[in-house]
Amino acid sequence: MPPSLQNIGQFIWGEIPSSKVERRLLLKIDWFILSYCCLMYFTNYLDRANVNNAYVSGMKQELNMQGNDFNKINTIFTCGYIVGMIPNNLMLQVAPARIWFPLMQIVWGVLTFCSSAVQNVQQLYAIRFFQGMSEASTFVGTHYILGSWYKPGELGKRSGIFTSSGLAGTLFSGVLQAAVYQHLGGVGGRSGWRWLFIMDGIITLPIALYGFLVFPDIPATTKAFYLTEEERLLSCDRLEHDVVRHPLSWDLAKRVLRRWRWYGCSLLFAVSGETESFGSNNLMGQWLSAIGGYSIEQVDYYPSGVTAFGIVSTLVCATWTDYTRVRWPVLVYMCFSCTIAAICILIWSSPTGVKFFAYYLAGAAYSGQATTFAWANQICADDNQERVIVLASMNMWNNAVNAWWPLLFYPATDAPRFKKGMIAMICTCAATLGVTWLVWFLERRELRRSVGTKDKFGVKERGSNTPKEGGKEK
């Protein structure tokens, strides 16, 4: 292949293996890992976003929801998500991922079916709590699996594709709700929003079966039928760190708590994750519903543009970070976009077209997810168990903040202006920039020390974490 085409291929898809065997291995794990993880996360977000779409499509009136009942539903889901976060990730050190992931998917699929039959908001509270516990298995668990199979130069793009699949679930949920409302509303005596939950459950369960059949677990324990013995050995050898299961012990807690990684990475996503508040709280849908003049189908369809821009931003940024190995500029781009969006909405006299632009621009916030977790996978690459805890804690602390953040800054009663929320968004972006600099500084300091250790004692440097500038190793 000509060098120019190789450079283009590397930019688009990450590092291209030099051997035919490794290229074949990468193709197989791309297909079987990404296909299941993306479909699983698609249904995860589909089942999660359906409440937002159901709320503005008749559920509010039918269940007689008042005040901040909508925010309470999301808060209770978040509480379940927090409770399930670390236990779910630690289960991947005990049970095979090819069993645990599909099992949890079946649980939340069944609970989604149950949501179609609720008669009051209190029943929905209970269902969403347990749904949060089961869905907590997917996001950080998959980032752990991706970090177990892929090199740093391959990881960003795959993390971006995975994250985008969840956004596609959100995007599809709005489209599905509009179609269901239009064509199934009233069929069998059920409202359109109830049919949405049923359709989501029907989509979810077959994908869980697919996971039982094809998911390969981690390199050290994989028994996937489609991998040869040579490919199994290569899947372990090609990484610069070992991905094996060790018995859990208190030594793990000591290792994690005495390093900066758990504190820095957890703080980074706890803060930066709140830039997603535009999309996660469906602020655009609430705005359109509150100001009036838009049909239910339009209220379902128009916010999909936020998610669509988030998908594009995620994939472009993930591609760029794999090529350069520099993660922090994505967070700068995300903060700049969300700050501009918040200012445009704060100026309430601005035209409606400007507000549409602002909400769509805020979709850039989603680009930080894949980048932040790929960065953490990279930072913790030399300690598999620490990586499990750090990834889970990042999402746990973000959701711990998110449990009360929308109630305080984005209550449904503030629609359509969300003045407090826009001010909070600007402050969140500023704080994210500060924490991003802190993590960058601490990582660079650790790398300098590891180089010094290598020089003095001959210990192998964490070369996989060395950032690149201009697409070349420093």
**Per-residue pLDDT tens digits for 176-193:** 767 777 778 778 888 888
In this structure, is residue 228 part of a structural domain? no
For residues 364 and 297, membership in a common domain is answered with: yes
Does the structure show a pLDDT above 50 at 49?
yes
For residues 207 and 274, membership in a common domain is answered with: no
For residues 206 and 275, membership in a common domain is answered with: no
In this structure, is residue 225 part of a structural domain? no
Average pLDDT over residues 416-428: 93
In this structure, is residue 103 part of a structural domain? yes
* 49 vs 394, higher pLDDT: 394
**pLDDT value at position 472?**
38
For residues 189 and 277, membership in a common domain is answered with: no
Q: What's the token pair of residue 261?
A: 């990684």
**pLDDT value at position 470?**
38
Does the structure show a pLDDT above 70 at 258?
yes
**pLDDT value at position 323?**
78
**CA quadruple 297, 298, 300, 303: dihedral, nearest 10:** 170
CATH number at residue 415: 1.20.1250.20
Average pLDDT over residues 327-354: 94
Does the structure show a pLDDT above 90 at 420?
yes
For residues 132 and 69, membership in a common domain is answered with: yes
pLDDT tens for residues 96-119? 889 999 999 999 999 999 998 899
Give residue 12's pLDDT band: very low, low, confident or very high (50, 70, 90). Answer: low
Does the structure show a pLDDT above 90 at 429?
yes
**pLDDT value at position 241?**
56
CA dist., res. 301 & res. 304, Å (int): 6
Q: What's the token pair of residue 271?
A: 């803060």
**pLDDT value at position 456?**
39
Classify residue 188 as exposed, middle or buried by CB count within 10 Å of its CB (0-12, 13-18, 19+): exposed
Domain that holds residue 140: 22-217
3-state secondary structure of 468: strand
Number of domain units in the chain: 2
In this structure, is residue 92 part of a structural domain? yes
In this structure, is residue 285 part of a structural domain? yes
CA dist., res. 468 & res. 322, Å (int): 10
* 390 vs 52, higher pLDDT: 390
For residues 208 and 299, membership in a common domain is answered with: no
Where does a domain end: 155, 189, 217? Answer: 217
In this structure, is residue 9 part of a structural domain? no
For residues 334 and 421, membership in a common domain is answered with: yes
Give residue 6's pLDDT band: very low, low, confident or very high (50, 70, 90). Answer: low
**pLDDT value at position 461?**
40
95, HSE (Cβ side, Cα atoms, 13 Å) = 16
Does the structure show a pLDDT above 70 at 464?
no
For residues 136 and 275, membership in a common domain is answered with: no
Average pLDDT over residues 13-30: 82
Q: Is residue 259 left, alpha or beta, with left meaning phi > 0 and alpha meaning psi from -120 to 50? A: beta
Top mean pLDDT of 113-122, 251-260, 292-301 is at 113-122
Predicted TM-score of the model (pTM): 0.72
Does the structure show a pLDDT above 60 at 247?
no
Which is nearest to 217 in space by CA: 101, 102, 98, 99?
A: 98
Weakest mean pLDDT among 183-187, 259-263, 305-309, 437-441: 183-187
* 152 vs 331, higher pLDDT: 331
- Omega of the bond leading into 416 within 30 degrees of 0 (cis): yes
Where does a domain end: 166, 192, 217? Answer: 217
Average pLDDT over residues 415-424: 92
Top mean pLDDT of 239-253, 272-286, 440-454 is at 272-286
To the nearest whole percent, how much of the chain has pLDDT over 90? 30
For residues 336 and 436, membership in a common domain is answered with: yes
Mean pLDDT, rounded, of the chain:
83
Using alpha carbons only, give the angle 393, 399, 401 rounded to the nearest 5 degrees: 105
Where does a domain end: 217, 236, 267? Answer: 217
Average pLDDT over residues 341-356: 93
pLDDT tens for residues 391-410? 888 988 988 888 788 888 98
**pLDDT value at position 94?**
82
**pLDDT value at position 452?**
61
For residues 349 and 206, membership in a common domain is answered with: no
In this structure, is residue 473 part of a structural domain? no
Average pLDDT over residues 129-142: 89
In this structure, is residue 35 part of a structural domain? yes
**pLDDT value at position 331?**
95
Average pLDDT over residues 163-181: 75
For residues 164 and 108, membership in a common domain is answered with: yes
Contacts of 130 (CB under 8 A, 6+ apart): 80, 107, 111
For residues 275 and 418, membership in a common domain is answered with: yes
* 166 vs 428, higher pLDDT: 428
